[in-house]
Amino acid sequence: MRYGNKLPPGQRRVKGFPRFGTHLSRPAPAVPADPVIEVRGAVTEEFDLPLASLSSLPRKEITADFHCVAGWTATDLRWEGVSFETLYRALIEPALPPGTSITHIKCRGLDGWEAAVKIDDILADDVLIAQHLDGHPLDSDHGAPARLVSPSQYGYISVKHLSRVELLTTAPAITEGLLLRSHPRGRVWEEERHGLLPGRAVRPFYRALIRPIRFLSSRGARDRHTSGRPRFPN
């Protein structure tokens, strides 16, 4: 969602779409030959969902901006894949014991990155398991073979290289320290940047992390020379 040309509070536009994350200078994790999403937690029986099974579900396309909690925004990204809600209703919900009430879904990437997402947030209209970006299969920089995309929440929710969803019936324990505690919802228009401090207050501190993290993240990128540059010459 965007209101006219306005960005959420405290965000600044970047050119292109940088690779960004704690993987820092490490290359992206290898994509398995037959990738699956492991379904774990409160299901009757845990199972592995082949990514190929997504092709039986209706496709969805969204165009949205992408907001990193550190303060950069990449604009007008066109994602294509399957709505998370569609996948959940068709293939996950039927595997829950009757009467189970899911409160959160913890998503995990092949590189170990995790985000626990409130059920209402992950079932929102604009949340996708994306397999294509701007008309091309997702590359390793941006989360191959499939990633979560939740444009109304800060980027840390949008888990790349999605390989596991864990169904939770209570809120997950907080594992991060005081200073770097991320907000459990991270909604961008509410500026839910931090778990304890007001979003506004942490802006300068987070902003200072952009350059070093971008630099390190680009070293492990698919093509070090173009990463971080605009995707289209203009």
Ligand X SMILES: Nc1nc2c(c(=O)[nH]1)N[C@H]1C(S)=C(S)[C@@H](COP(=O)(O)O)O[C@H]1N2
**End-to-end Cα separation, the chain, in angstroms:** 25
Tokens representing 74 are: 């990449």
The option from Mo ion, ligand X, none interacting with 22 (CB < 5 to 8 A, set by class) reads ligand X
Tokens 């907080």 -> residue: 174
161 binds, among ligand X, Mo ion, none (CB under 5 to 8 A by kind): ligand X
Binding-residue pattern over the window 40 to 69 for ligand X, x denoting contact by CB under 6 A: ----------------------------x-
Pick the stretch among 20-28, 87-95, 170-178, 184-192 that binds ligand X (CB under 6 A).
Answer: 20-28
Neighbours of 44 (CB within 10 A): 11
Which tokens hold the place of 133?
């970006």
DSSP letters, 154-187, are: -GGGS-SSEEEEEEESSPPPP-S-STT-B-SS-B
Interaction with ligand X in 100-119: which residues (CB under 6 A)? 109, 111, 113
Complex with ligand X: residue 94 or 204, whichever CB lies closer: 204
Quick note: the x/- pattern for ligand X over 155-194, rule CB under 6 A, is: xx-xxxx---------------------------------
Interacting residues of 4 by C-beta distance below 8 A, sequence separation 6+: none
Which stretches of the chain bind ligand X, using CB under 6 A? 17-23, 68, 109, 111, 113, 142-143, 155-156, 158-161
